[in-house]
Amino acid sequence: MKVAVVGAGWAGCAAAVEATQRGHQVTLFESARIAGGRARRVETTAAGQPLQIDNGQHILIGAYAETLRLMNTVGVDTTTSLLRIPLRLQFPNGEGLNFPDWRVPAAVQALIGMLGARGWNWQDKWSLLRVARRWQACGFKCTADMTVATLCGGLSPRAMAGLIEPLCVSALNTPAERASAQVFLRIMQDALFSHAGGSDLLLPRTDLSALLPDAALTWLTQRGPAPRLGVRVDALTLGSEGWRIGVRGGDSSSSDERFDAVVLACPPTEAARLVETLLSPATLNVHINATSKAESIRWIALANSLQYEALATVYAQVIHAASSAKTACLSQPMLALPSAPEAPAQFVFDRGQLGGPTGLLAFVVSASQGDTAQISAQVLAQGQRQLGLQLELVQTIIEKRATFACTPNLQRPEPQIAPGLLACGDYIAGPYPATLEGAVRSGLQAAKLLG
């Protein structure tokens, strides 16, 4: 079939590659000039020099099997583009979890890591082991209305603050008191208890566009129509000869193009807008039956009902680090940070240890609140206080709709909208929260549903 994929984020790239492998002729449209969606490269400057950063600091884990498989498919060398280390949730004072670098069964590695947690007493460790055993006994299932905070009742405050809260807010971008326990359990099962290496941290050594989207676009160009960046899809109609999409280029030129099927891989609000353009009286009367109309209207309502969490990344330069002989400003490439309302960052990354400039740090504020100036000032003060470093702000990037709020009983849109019209993205119904793996899996699913 001749297939249009609208959106070149990670889900769209996955859908386009998988559909191409299945023999379809795929055209990938992206309104931006850089592929990657909410995990992409950003061009900026620091001290008058060009600098490539990301619109948000992301990591992968060893359990992200489909993302890693897709990277290998499009020719990304994951051994050089990702730094693989055992799970570490270490704080600046040395406390926290460090999983051993041993290829043993996942449950054994998790047990050793929990028992060896630094700064935890035996009551802390025993409370975590008891709760983890309870999750296993229940098959990592719970009621749909349960929050992570309720799920972890009985944990000591140190175990909650040192493991559960950092994992929850990093994976679901939703605080534990509001986050879905069932989705969290799925992440815990896959990461900590499924297979050896599933809990490993995979830290990008390149910018996020280079990590997958750039390679995917090159791969697609070699096998079919070149992806079309800087081209916006304005409208969607269904005629007697199939789907038609109205596109507009950066030079204001417009055209109407025909396809056999369409995959909407754009944000949910944009996908809902395009589906609404489909439901014009002329189209409905002739080509869309009452069942498809009702399903499309319900899909639009679900997509528009999603609530969102923001994510802020504060890039800061360690003063005088560039003239220092040492390349590492932190003891680890990534550290967990004690967070509070006045110290909102939960993690900090040493980009100098990840292929970036010496002294460049990236502070991550998941489920962030406040404006750019407020968050920047709070994080700089937090970094100086908790890390003992003098910092200078480079840039703060806030994605106001970084992820959907992964709350209990959440209903997410299905991938099938109407015959020949599909959607994919990390917000589509599935077991994962809004993660890179969730986006990739959704894209693969949409391509398989094409037939």
Does the pTM surpass 0.75? The reply is: yes
For 85-164, where are the alpha helices, taking DSSP H only? 106-115, 122-137, 148-151, 157-159
Which uninterrupted H or E stretch holds 441? Answer: helix 436-449
Residue-level pLDDT, tens digit, the chain, 451 residues: 999 999 999 999 999 999 999 999 999 999 999 999 999 999 998 878 899 999 999 999 999 999 999 999 999 999 999 999 999 999 999 999 999 988 788 889 988 999 999 999 999 999 999 999 999 999 999 999 999 999 999 899 999 999 999 999 999 999 999 999 999 999 999 988 888 889 999 999 999 999 999 999 999 999 999 999 999 999 998 888 889 999 987 666 778 899 999 999 999 999 999 999 888 765 555 567 777 888 999 999 999 999 999 999 999 999 875 545 456 789 999 999 999 999 999 999 999 999 999 999 999 999 999 999 999 999 999 999 999 999 999 999 999 999 999 999 999 999 999 999 999 999 999 999 999 999 999 999 999 999 8
pLDDT for 278 equals 86
pLDDT for 80 equals 96
pLDDT for 16 equals 98
pLDDT for 250 equals 67
Q: Which residues of 231-264 are buried (b: 16+ CB within 10 A; e: fewer)?
A: bbbebbbbeeebbbbbbbeeeeeeeeeebebbbb
Cross-strand bridge partners of residue 244: 237, 258
- The values of phi and psi at residue 341, to 5°, are -55, -35
DSSP 289: -
pLDDT for 106 equals 86
For the chain, the straight-line distance linking the first and the last C-alpha, in angstroms and rounded, comes to 9
pLDDT for 23 equals 97
Closest by CA position to 176, among listed 411, 342, 339: 339
Q: What's the CA angle centered on 292, arms 286 and 295, to 5 degrees?
A: 145
Closest by CA position to 9, among listed 167, 206, 229, 190: 229
Instruction: Provide the residue ranges of all domains of the chain, joining segments of one domain with +.
Output: 2-39+210-306+411-449, 87-199, 308-404
Q: Is 364 helix (H, G, I), strand (E, B) or coil?
A: strand
pLDDT for 46 equals 80
pLDDT for 238 equals 87
In this structure, are residues 170 and 366 in contact, taking their beta carbons and an 8 Å threshold?
yes
Tokens of 312: 């802020």
The domain made up of 2-39+210-306+411-449 has a fold known as: FAD/NAD(P)-binding domain (3.50.50)
pLDDT for 281 equals 67
CB atoms within 10 A of CB 338: 16
Q: Three-state SS string across 385-435, please?
A: HHHCCCEEEEEEEEEEEEEECCCCCCCCCCCEEECCEEECCCCCCCCCCCC
pLDDT for 287 equals 67
In this structure, are residues 193 and 105 in contact, taking their beta carbons and an 8 Å threshold?
no
pLDDT for 326 equals 56
Which architecture does CATH list for 308-404? Alpha-Beta Complex (3.90)
Cα–Cα distance, 5 to 3 (Å, whole number):
7
